[in-house]
Structure 1
């Protein structure tokens, strides 16, 4: 098994196409074709993490946060980022980061928090837009069924809980091939009219390359006429943050203590405690001040997130409780989730790499300490 095989499994869980534009996800250090001897999973890649990988004969680090976030102009070992990259290269260790791709995945960071809190009726808090595309193409009527089937097999035509969705219109297509053409149907230099079917299917944007490859490989024409448009529809299965409901209502103070216990945090910074029961909770792992208005609009009683600033707490305005549990604390369960996911997927895919070679880092990389 090579590094790219592991990346493919992670891509199935959280396609990198849905990472935020500001992010730096993917293979940051190393050769994608390198054979994997072991995988170390961590939240952050520090020098101590690289040492841990060396000690455990792991030549691939799967890290939630990217060690390289801004551009590096030199590698002199002056900063911790440079030292990590240098040491990883010296020991042929690849580093892969999944970060906001997993934040935006339906079974990602925020789903993990919801499960930790035992929330039901989970929904994406801020669905992504621009992630659904539509293909329209025109094919001879007798080839329409085989083309639809091929497109469905690679994931096109999936809408929510439905599959094999398409819209089809029968009509006449015309074309006139020049002297350099080689028409499959008709003759070059002669205007040809063909009974055709216009097929429209939607697909998730990360599938565009395989959808187009399938179209070109299956379509009978020498020149394939097609259009791809990006839809404005929001995607209810991709987006950041989640909102869910407790099994039973709790008073606000008890709920904050419950969250503190379940999220294994030493303290919670919170806005004013409101005198109303808590049922609906919004969550957003990592820095989440931008989600305050969305949490309010969802009807959430509490927003669980991190990195709130002083003035952010004023925006609660007695309509919601803002609970800052700490950045590391909000994402700490992510690495255990990734170990479990990879252990299941990779041992089935590549039995030669036993589950014991997928290692959960024992090092806490939390830079924030409490007195």
Structure 2
């Protein structure tokens, strides 16, 4: 099956036109005319992923390998280092990032992982929870299997939560909720939220998006209609707690 055929199918599942202007979803590496027999699904590209994939295959990731322009292809950054290795193995790469956040991932995390109901508005999933802040924190810790979690508490009772997987603090000014759940929260962003009276729960970037492979697999397995093997693998969280 050609990469173009798979790309067109993915575009029906989650249209690439939904991605943000700064994003680089779509074909990052490879040739639309390349024939592939295996598709690998992974959150990101790292050494372990590249070692596992067979030559002449396709990887579909959540995060693009290339975000900015590249002036030289030498192995002095993770993107160019992995780009060289993919080219050597003749492996194509398609990224489904902000388009998939909007159509699938945020909704899955909110409803299937946290067990909440609500409605998605572009990047943000809103849910009416009506519980104490401490109860909400314990719910998130339990559902995500976390012993500790970073929070900013501005009020004792939460009526509505907003949820964005990955790093969503750039959306803070438009958040209409008592508490915002997202990842990669920085110090000054936390201070800004506190001044606005919005509580925060840091659900982590990797921890909130690691479900990408499961969600995409369910969306395409049995639906793609072609003779191709779909294999779930995953990159590793670069952070560890000690």
* Structure 1 residue 332 displacement after superposition: 1.1
In the TM superposition, structure 1's runs of 4+ consecutive aligned residues that sit over 4 Å from their partners are: none
* Map of 2:134 onto structure 1: 253
1:307 aligns with 2:155: no
Q: Which has the higher contact order (CA 8 A, sep 6+)?
A: 2
The separation in 2 between residues aligned to 1:318 and 1:83, in whole angstroms, is 42
What is the rounded CA distance, in whole Å, between the counterparts of 2:128 and 2:75 in structure 1? 48
Q: Identify the match of residue 268 of structure 1 among 133, 149, 161.
A: 149
Separation in 2, partners of 1:313, 1:80? 29
Q: Which residue of 2 aligns with 1:169?
A: none
Distance 1:92 1:58 in 2: 5
Structure 1 runs not aligned, ≥5 long: 125-238
Distance across 2 between alignment mates of 1:119 and 1:49: 32
Q: Distance in 2 between matches of 1:58 and 1:49?
A: 14
Residue 100 of structure 2: aligned partner: 102
Within a 5 Å distance, the mapping from 1:99-248 to structure 2 comes to 99-105=97-103, 108-115=104-111, 116-124=113-121, 239-246=122-129
TM-score by length of 2: 0.91
Say whether the 8 Å CA contact 2:154–2:197 is kept in structure 1. Answer: no
Matched with 2:212 is 334
Q: What root-mean-square deviation, in Å, do the aligned CA atoms of Structure 1 and Structure 2 show?
A: 1.9
Change (3 A) 1:14 1:37: same
1:52 aligns with 2:52: yes
Distance 1:80 1:313, change over 3 A: closer
The Cα shift of 1:7 comes to 1.2
TM-score, reference length from structure 1? 0.61
- Structure 2 counterpart of 1:65: 63
Question: Alignment partner of 1:242: what SS?
Answer: strand
Higher Rg: 1
Q: Following the alignment from structure 1 to structure 2, what is the Cα–Cα distance between the partners of residues 264 and 329?
A: 10
**Equivalent pairs, count:** 240
Structure 2: state its 5+ residue gaps: none
